[in-house]
Amino acid sequence: MQTQTYELNMGPQHPSTHGVLRIILELDGEVVVKATPVIGYLHRGIEKICEGKTYGQTIPFTDRMDYMHSMNNNLGLCQAVEKLMGLEVPERAEYIRVIMAELSRIASHMIYAGALVNDLGGVTGFVFLIRDRERILELFNKACGARMTFNYIRIGGVQQDVPEGWVEECRRFVDDFPEMMHTYNGLIMGNEIFQARMKDIAILPPDRAVAMAASGGVLRASGVNYDVRKDDPYGIYDRFDFDVPLGTKGDNWDRFIVRMQEMEQSIRIIDQALKQMPEGPVMAKVPKVIKPPVGEVYHHVENSKGDLGYYVVSDGGMKPYRWHARRPAMVNLQLLDELCRGYKIADVVAILGTLDPVLGEVDC
């Protein structure tokens, strides 16, 4: 029988494309022949905007890139500028930065896991994860007054010290986390339907992952041990004892479970940081007008999506001459076509979920 492929336009308005991603699917029945992601619906030209702002003013714009893991975005840019200026950051600020970045990573992974479960039809798992993420957002709200776009980590330190009682509340969250994880294990990871949906789907071999410049959970799920926090430690990450969870196969299940294990490792880091955190100032002596010396800097940090890099060129003025971000979600998304071919429409949603694109970052 002669059959014919057809095109299905998934998005930009679609329940599970994580924002305004459009995927042009070429389908043979339910089987994907080709998947072309079309991006740019959320393009705001952040890189160009930032060339017209002072260094301090660009930080709020990094919040709006990967809005799920904003703290780390702030951190990356601030450390890049600090590198350029040769600034020393006070100890306490470094610890607060690590705690915030790791809390933010957990929040981001919670959204990741929740959205993935929701895409597979398990709405309750999504709600549970969002409910527990609320506690992290509340911690952020107490510290800086914002729940999503923080602008908390600044060049030279953090905006202000955490309020009284914050450390205890954070400690309570750390203590409660194993129980939350237990719930997710029962409801999501232990569910046979969920496992059947995830296991052995969209296998990404390590050599392809490296060739496509994948990073973060996507890369580590394929068994490549690369974590910027370990391999090119920034800030004070070399002081903490944590493992880098690795997958073995590189299928959807590995990409999911690696991130769930990363959450546990983040909790370990927060636990150590809370114990070691010294008293002291949270802001270095930074001139009112930040004018880094002429030069360029590339600094990368481990975002929840992968290897987030900032390239900043200074011409000695108040504003950056060039401001570029290497956005991991954008790079990881390029794998979509390769991974989707030969799988079903329902798998496209799952694969997209495990690649974890945040459209704010993809389009920038």
Tokens of 72: 């780390």
CB of residue 238 to another protein, shortest distance in Å: 31
CB of residue 103 to another protein, shortest distance in Å: 16
State which amino acid sits at residue 159: Q
Cβ(361)–Cβ(327) below 8 Å? yes
Tell me the torsion sign for CA atoms 34, 40, 42, 48. Answer: positive
Would you tell me how many other CB atoms lie within 10 Å of the CB of residue 350? 26
CB of residue 37 to another protein, shortest distance in Å: 17
Q: What is the largest CA-CA distance in the chain?
A: 76
Cβ(357)–Cβ(40) below 8 Å? no
Closer Cβ to another protein, 265 or 354, answer by number: 354
Going by their DSSP bridges, the two strands 153-154 and 157-158 should be labelled as: antiparallel
Closer Cβ to another protein, 15 or 86, answer by number: 15
Angle between the N-to-C axes of helices 70-85 and 55-63, in degrees from 0 to 180, rounded to the nearest 10: 160
Closer Cβ to another protein, 141 or 272, answer by number: 141
Tokens of 275: 């114990």
Closer Cβ to another protein, 183 or 225, answer by number: 183
Closer Cβ to another protein, 193 or 294, answer by number: 193
Closer Cβ to another protein, 92 or 197, answer by number: 197
Catalogue the long-range contacts made by 118-123 (C-beta closer than 8 Å, 24 or more residues apart): 118/16, 119/16, 119/349, 119/350, 119/352, 119/353, 120/194, 120/197, 120/349, 120/350, 120/353, 122/187, 122/188, 122/191, 122/194
CB of residue 180 to another protein, shortest distance in Å: 12
CB of residue 349 to another protein, shortest distance in Å: 5
Question: What single string gives the DSSP state of each residue in 262-282?
Answer: HHHHHHHHHHHHHHHPPPS-S
CB of residue 142 to another protein, shortest distance in Å: 5
Closer Cβ to another protein, 125 or 306, answer by number: 125
CB of residue 197 to another protein, shortest distance in Å: 6
Q: Whole-angstrom Cα distance, residue 126 to residue 115?
A: 6
The residues of the shown chain that bind another protein, judged by CB under 8 A, are: 6, 8, 14-16, 30, 53, 56-61, 63-64, 117-125, 127-128, 131, 134, 141-146, 149, 151, 159-160, 163, 183, 186-188, 190-197, 344-349
